[in-house]
Amino acid sequence: MNNAQLKKFLRDRNVLYLYHANTVATSCTFFENGGLLSRGTAEDRGLFQTPQETDERDKQVDVFYDLFFDSIDIHRRKRNLNHYGPVMFVYSIDLIDSLPEDSIRITKDNPIRWHSGMTEEEKYFLSEDELKIGFAKGDFTQHFTIRHQMEPLSFKYLRKIVLDDPGVEDTRYFENAHQHLQKLIEQYAPTVSLEVRQCPPECGCQEQYRSHRIGYVYHRFKTK
């Protein structure tokens, strides 16, 4: 399936955006370096990124140089924190037009459950027929990956950034992150809007942000 066919398939399923969540500190690195970076590329270039315990595993199953996206806003769907961080990058699927053929894939399961001997067919949807049967918008285990992304992924197709408001009493980490991101966006991606996610009380994130020690909010919102 080529990129145009994939984009049409997604459009027909009402998948119009691709979502990538990260910490504030790693997001700052993205802005300062012209785009989203795979874990491997950031590491090779000696750039700061928040440590992730999956890095070693990601190397074994060859996703360390891949950029990960979801087909939905997981925070909103799950009504809870996105594990990867409070900053969400929202890209238009027009991004697909700009990618080399065959560089974007959709995983059949979360690579955390992969092992090194698996075949491409076991890991990814490789045809439109397979996608028609198995793809479900909003399935948290089916990730979009841009394979072997060795350069920053440009902000050309980035439509907006959404930042969680943790709703905690001590607002200084949130405010610092918000101001810092605003400055970076003005400087490096001036057409992109920055939204603050104001969650209703029933969203689990509010409870989580409040119940964790202050170190948790600090870690997710610190700017470096």
**Sites of contact with Zn ion (CB under 5 A):** 199, 203, 205
Give the tokens for residue 8.
């049409």
Find the shortest distance in angstroms from Cβ 211 to Zn ion: 13
Nearest to Zn ion of 61, 74 (CB atom): 74
List, as own/partner pairs, every contact residues 182-186 make where C-beta atoms lie below 8 angstroms and the sequence separation is at least 24, other chains included: 184/28, 184/31, 184/32, 185/31, 185/161
Least Å from the CB of residue 67 to Zn ion: 24
- Which residue number, 34 or 167, has a Cβ lying nearer to Zn ion? 167
Residue number, 73 or 128, with CB nearest to Zn ion: 73
Tell the smallest beta-carbon distance from residue 79 to Zn ion (Å): 6
Coil vs helix vs strand at 7: helix
Reported in sequence order, the residue ranges of 23-152 that DSSP labels E, i.e. its strands, are 67-69, 87-92, 104-106, 144-146
d(C-alpha 146, C-alpha 88), whole Å: 17
3-state DSSP percent of the chain in helix, strand and coil, to 5 = 40, 15, 45
Q: Are strands 158-164 and 193-197 parallel, antiparallel or unpaired?
A: parallel
Judged by beta carbon, residue 158 or residue 205, the one nearer Zn ion is 205
Q: What are phi and psi for residue 32, nearest 5 degrees?
A: -70, -15
H/E element holding 193?
A: strand 193-197
Closest approach of Zn ion to the CB of residue 24, in Å: 16
- Least distance to Zn ion from the beta carbon of 179, Å? 21
Residue in the block written with tokens 């905690």? 168
Nearer to Zn ion, 147 or 160 (CB): 160
The residue among 15 and 88 lying less far from Zn ion, judged by its C-beta, is 88
Amino acid at 94: D
For the bound state, the minimum distance from the C-beta of residue 75 to Zn ion, rounded and expressed in Å, comes to 6
